[in-house]
Chain A
């Protein structure tokens, strides 16, 4: 039974990382109907930016202030990068065939990935390990670390905040309206371009938090890791129903749990295969995801 609870804790931790990153995919998809393949690479970039910000600007001294500053600076940098990405690679293609924007996203992903490689080198870099106290709780044989608790709590707070923002504020209403019908929203006086920028800001900032967490949790970061985490987060978004914000959160958590349980009980070398088989089954039987709505086919 110990292994079960241990894997649940691990799964929840990874799951909330996936959920944070998946929100970026799902929000952009909701509005632009575009799979933003470069999002995973932005997440990878945030881990590297975070590492450098901590070492160079904050002097490598760990304190409550410097950790908060690390998060805020990185989130700001990645948010700017996200908006720049939209303006340079996606905005010129708003009225082009949908696949053109997908290729542009793939190209942007390559640019970011190789930009990281040229700046920080092709080898594994190590995220500073002294950011948070190294506390370990042992609850009846299940080990929970401080980092895991931090990831779980902070992700939960961010997700609740996002949910409230989307559902309770005027800007949130504008985002939801633009996701349903851009032209009608424009007629109602919503500045859709600003909404799109806002979505890229929020999505990238949440991805940046995910990237820093990845650095803090796994320590080793590589320039290629964006593909891997991005792909998993993307699968989470699809599972929950892409375009659906609570769906992305649920999908992320479920995917993390599923992964951890497969790794713990079946085989760790077949995890990917099982994950993608699950994805394919979900898509075949519920094509719009777990929380997705039925979309009427155009006739």
Chain B
């Protein structure tokens, strides 16, 4: 069983590595989009799936990363590589500051509060705060990535940079699955009071989940800014947040294959069915309802616990 799983993963990575050799133009762009949104969805999953907090404002951190990259590059002339650390650390700090007063809220109220923060963030962008964000039009003319003197202009090179970020994200999450923090997230998502009584600092780990999720989403934001060379507020509205929220729950919380399938269904299939154009979101909504009715825990939910063989086979 474990071997088949590993084999499937190896096959998947091989496909991802070889993808730019078979795809070009629009399809390569779709591949980059898949990688970027997978990273964001995986980071949302740390907060929503693993730590069990209803975060419906994750586009804030994604957008913050993209805007930090854009502002530092456009207004202050920093090379893109140098903006990456800022685009990870600042959203992570914001994740800490924004979540600290609200992590104790019960489910639905947390959902509404994060949604509200997303609306505030959007208005800050749209109103051209401090003359930096460029208002409703956003920022145009962000440089391409410059690595060791090589200008990485082509779609293929952007694809591989995104792939690198994707692998790093997966490694972080794998590490989380086996590490202390990951187990703490799991316990407190199941029952915060019980986990407090066995000595888990609930508040600390909840804020940690937000910080981690925000940092990773910020890094994905940089990729987004590089891919389009431009950023505008409409890519980071609360509808995007809702989409990430839905990806995690449709795909299956805390499950890497589930999230990847979720991202594929939500972002790649609409591209494939472009000829149906106007009707595709209708079909999409129907698919969301159907997926939830048939598999309320997500398409590929993660199964916890190891049962002895005789229990499993009954």
Contacts and interface: CB of A to CB of B under 8 A. Distances in A.
B278 A118 contact: yes
Give the bracket for the number of chain B residues in contact with chain A.
35 or more
Tell me if A's interface is mostly helix, strand, loop or mixed: helix
A125 interface: no
Interface string A269-283: 110110111011001
A98 B107 CA distance: 10
A96 B101 CA distance: 30
B279 interface: yes
Interface in A277-297: 277, 279-280, 283-284, 287, 297
Interface string B279-294: 1011011111100110
B278 A103 contact: no
Interface in B264-314: 278-279, 281-282, 284-289, 292-293, 296-297
Given A93-B296, A104-B288, A110-B281, A299 B193 contact: yes
Contact of B249 (A100, A115, A234): A100
Interface string B46-59: 00000000100000
B250 A103 contact: yes
B296 A111 contact: no
Q: Is the interface of B mostly helix, strand, loop or mixed?
A: helix
Nearest to A224: B239
Contact of B108 (A35, A107, A118): A35
Interface centre among A35, A100, A113, A242 (most CB of B within 10 A): A100
Given A104-B292, A106-B242, A272 B119 contact: yes
A283 B297 contact: no
Nearest to B287: A107
Contacts of A100: 249, 292, 296-297
A270 B286 contact: no
Contacts of B102: 280, 283-284
Q: Which of A113, A270, A280, A299 has the most CB of B within 10 A?
A: A280
Contact of A279 (B108, B112, B249): B112
Contacts of B246: 103, 106-107
B116 A276 contact: yes
Given A92-B293, A106-B246, A273-B123, A114 B279 contact: yes
Interface in A82-129: 88-89, 92-93, 96-104, 106-115, 117-118, 122
Interface of A: 33, 35, 88-89, 92-93, 96-104, 106-115, 117-118, 122, 227, 231, 234-235, 238, 242, 269-270, 272-273, 275-277, 279-280, 283-284, 287, 297-299
- Would you list the 5 A-B pairs with minimal beta carbon distance, nearest first? A107-B288, A110-B285, A96-B296, A276-B116, A111-B285
